[in-house]
Amino acid sequence: MMNLETSIAGLRLRNPTMLASGILGQTGQSLLRVAESGGAGALVTKSIGLESRTGHGNPSVIEVDNGLLNAMGLPNPGIDNFEEEIRVVKEGGDGIPIFGSIFAKGPSEFSLLAGRMAGYGVDAIELNLSCPHASGYGIETGSDPEEVSKIVEGVVNTVDIPVFAKLSPMVPNIASIAEAVEKAGGHGIVAINTMKAMKIEPEIGKPVLSNKMGGLSGPAIKPVGVRAVYEIASEVKIPIIGVGGILTGQDAIEYFMAGASAVQIGSGVHYRGIDIFKKVCAEIEEFMKANGYTQISEMRGIVHPPKPGV
């Protein structure tokens, strides 16, 4: 009998699909819709900061070849206004794990936000160290192993729930950043975030996005995400959540075989609807049945060469 349940840093997920941060994650009701109608195994909130932000002006999201390009600018209500949204999910979500995503400037601010999120009742913290379109946040922080280590260590010492770091592929060696997370006591890695990109409208000779540059997501970045997960899994032992361009069960399976324990789906909601999580799980089950797998862990990391002596 096939079993889609998976465990990540002690958290039990009914299936290995998760809502990625930034998609339907700003209100408790929208998060509940993903859990109930969509069938996701876990939820990740919108990235929340210390203060409310309106983000960048429109156009902030456009469709490009094989993907989406967005420059939202981390709009959010601020941590003071987010407690009620978590309460709604905790009361109506039937125990579904909730990852509270946060962004900040510096270790002390990350620790403060993480403590507030933990106090609201989330089951894990996701550190957004990789946003490509908000100046002063994200990539600037997440590309420095020493700074990443300080942030992770500070948060781990502040909360008593699992701490995951979401990393950018736009660094020389993503595995070295993941190693810094592991050495600092982080419980897991999320890879990858969107990639910095740009579209120009030739007829008017100007960038299409109001922010000029944004983050590319969707099928175009899946090979990059799979590569990143493979490289990270070669160097760390903590669990990895794969994200980037997942539209089908086959896409998810690529991430599992590269070393991921679960996957997050974001732009896939745009392409296949809110019930994409159910669709992907059904396709995973079909593949497992056809290929003799009974649980997700049997596929995890199988493309890696055997360790010496094994």
CATH number, domain at 150?
3.20.20.70
Q: Is residue 157 one of the residues assigned to a domain?
A: yes
Structural domain that includes position 266? 6-54+75-194+218-298
**What pLDDT score was predicted for residue 85?**
96
131 assigned to active site:
yes
The two structure tokens encoding residue 163:
């701490």
Q: Is residue 205 part of a domain?
A: no
DSSP 24: S
Amino acid at 270: H
Counting the structural domains of the chain, the total is 1
> Is 213 inside a domain boundary?
no
Q: Using CA atoms, how far apart are residues 221 and 61, in angstroms rounded to an integer?
A: 16
Whole-Å CA distances, 152 to 139, 143, 160, 191, 261? 15, 13, 13, 16, 21
Cβ–Cβ under 8 Å, residues 97 and 235 = no
Residue 209 falls inside a structural domain: no
Domain for residue 210, yes or no? no
Whether 251 is covered by a domain: the verdict is yes
Q: How far is CA 269 from CA 19, 91, 198, in A?
A: 9, 24, 22
**Structural domain contains residue 64:** no
Q: Is residue 27 part of a domain?
A: yes
How many Cβ atoms from other residues are within 10 Å of residue 303's Cβ? 13
- DSSP H or E run through 44: strand 43-44
Answer for the pair 175, 199: CB distance below 8 angstroms, yes or no.
Answer: no
Q: Which of 131, 139, 260, 269 is flagged as catalytic?
A: 131
Would you give per-residue pLDDT tens digits along the chain (310 residues)? 779 999 999 999 999 999 999 888 889 999 999 998 889 999 999 999 999 988 888 999 999 999 999 998 888 999 999 999 999 999 999 999 999 999 998 999 999 999 999 999 999 999 999 876 565 566 667 888 999 999 999 999 999 999 999 999 999 999 999 999 999 999 999 999 999 999 999 999 999 999 999 999 999 999 999 999 999 999 999 999 999 999 999 999 999 999 999 999 999 999 999 999 999 999 999 999 999 999 999 999 999 987 665 4
What pLDDT sits at residue 309? Answer: 52
